[in-house]
Amino acid sequence: MSRTLRLTFLLIGVTLVTVMIWQSGPAELVRGLRSSLWVVAALMPLWAAVYVLNAIAWQLLTSDGGPRLPLWRASVMTVAAFAVNYSTPLASFGGEPLKIIAATKVLGQRRAVGSVVAFRLLHALAHVVAFILALIPALIILPKTPVIVGGIVITGLVLGGITWFLFSRHREGLAVHLLHLLGRVPLLRRLAAKLEPKTAALHEIDEHVTAVYVRNPRRFYLALAVETSARFLALAEYWIILYGMGLGVDPWKAFVVGSFSSLVVNIFIFMPFELGAKEGALLLMFSWLGITPALALQAGMLSRLRELLWIAVGWVLLWVM
C-alpha cells in the first residue's frame, strides 16, 4: 500500500474520531473517563493472563525434535511481539519476525518459523471460533431487522469458510501453498520464481507447521482450547468496561460488543492503528443495543489506554531482552 493511501486512511480515522469526540462533548468525555479510569487498572492483570495463555498455546504448537521454550521466555516474547503488532501502523504483523528471531536461539530457525506461523494460524482460528459463537447471542439480543439478520447469516457463512481454510493450513501447511498461489497471480510470478530455489526450505517449514496437528492431534486441540480460552478472556475486557461505565453486568451483551468490534477491526486492518474502526464499530453496536452512543467513544478510549500501557510494557521487555 502506497504512503499516500496510508496517509489517506489515517486522516479518515482521525476525522471519524474527532467527529465522535465533538458530538460526545469533550468535557463530558473527560468526566466519564475520570470516573472509570480504575477499569484500566483492572484490565492489566486480565491481559497478563491472556498473554500467558497465548504463550502456552505457542509452546504446545512447537514441533518436537529439540529443546522447548521456557514459559517465562515465551510469555516475554509474546508480550513484546504483541506490543510491536499494536505499534505497527498497518496490518499488525511486525511482532512475528521478532518472535522468530528471539525463538531461533532456542528452537533453531526452521522450528522457530514453523511454530510462529502455526501459532498465528491458531490465533486467527480462535478469533473465528469466538466470532461464530458470538453470532448466537447476537441473533437473540440485536434488533431483528432484515439487514442485521441477513448480515449475521452471511457473516456466519463467511466465517465457516475461513474456519475450513485455517484448519486445512494446519493440516497441509502454508508456505508452499502460498508459493503456488503467487505463481498463479500475473503480477507476483516474478516473486514466486525468486522463491522457487527455496522450495525445500519452505517444505521443511511446512513440516514444522503441520507437525503437531498431524502427529499429535490431542496436543493441537489442547492448544486450540487454550488459545480460545485466551480469546474469551480478552473479550471479558468489555464486560469490565461496561460495568465500569455503569451499564450493568451483562456478559452476553459484552461478548457481542467485544466480538463485533474485533471483527470490524480485522476487516478494516488497513486502517492505521485501527483508528476509527474500533470506535465506529462500538458506536454502531451501542446504537443497536440501545446504549447511549456517546459512551462508545469512552469505551473505546478505555480499551486503547489498556493497549498503550501494555505497549509500553512490551517495549520495555524488548529493550531488556
Q: Give dist(CA 201, CA 108) in Å, integer.
A: 13
- Model confidence pLDDT, tens digit, residues 73-87: 999 999 999 888 887
Residue 53's pLDDT is what? Answer: 97
How much is the average pLDDT of 292-299? 80
- Model confidence pLDDT, tens digit, residues 174-210: 666 666 666 666 656 666 666 666 666 666 667 777 8
Closest CA to 113 of 180, 174, 199: 174
Residue 117's pLDDT is what? Answer: 86
- Residue whose cell numbers read 482450547: 225
Higher pLDDT, 50 or 263: 50
As for how many domains the chain has, the answer is: 1
Q: Which amino acid is at 144?
A: K
Domain that holds residue 136: 3-320
Query: Do 218 and 117 touch, CB atoms closer than 8 A?
Result: no
Q: What pTM did the predictor assign?
A: 0.84
User: Highest-confidence range of 18-32, 214-228, 285-299, by mean pLDDT?
Assistant: 214-228
Query: Do 134 and 222 touch, CB atoms closer than 8 A?
Result: no
How much is the average pLDDT of 38-53? 94
Query: By mean pLDDT, which of 31-35, 41-45, 281-285 is the weakest?
Result: 31-35
Q: Whole-number mean pLDDT of the chain?
A: 81
Query: Do 34 and 302 touch, CB atoms closer than 8 A?
Result: no
Q: Which amino acid is at 158?
A: V
- Model confidence pLDDT, tens digit, residues 93-146: 678 888 888 899 888 888 888 888 889 889 989 999 999 999 999 998 888 889
Higher pLDDT, 64 or 48: 48
Query: Do 238 and 298 touch, CB atoms closer than 8 A?
Result: no
216: number of Cβ within 10 Å: 15
Q: What are phi and psi of 169, to 5 degrees?
A: -70, -35
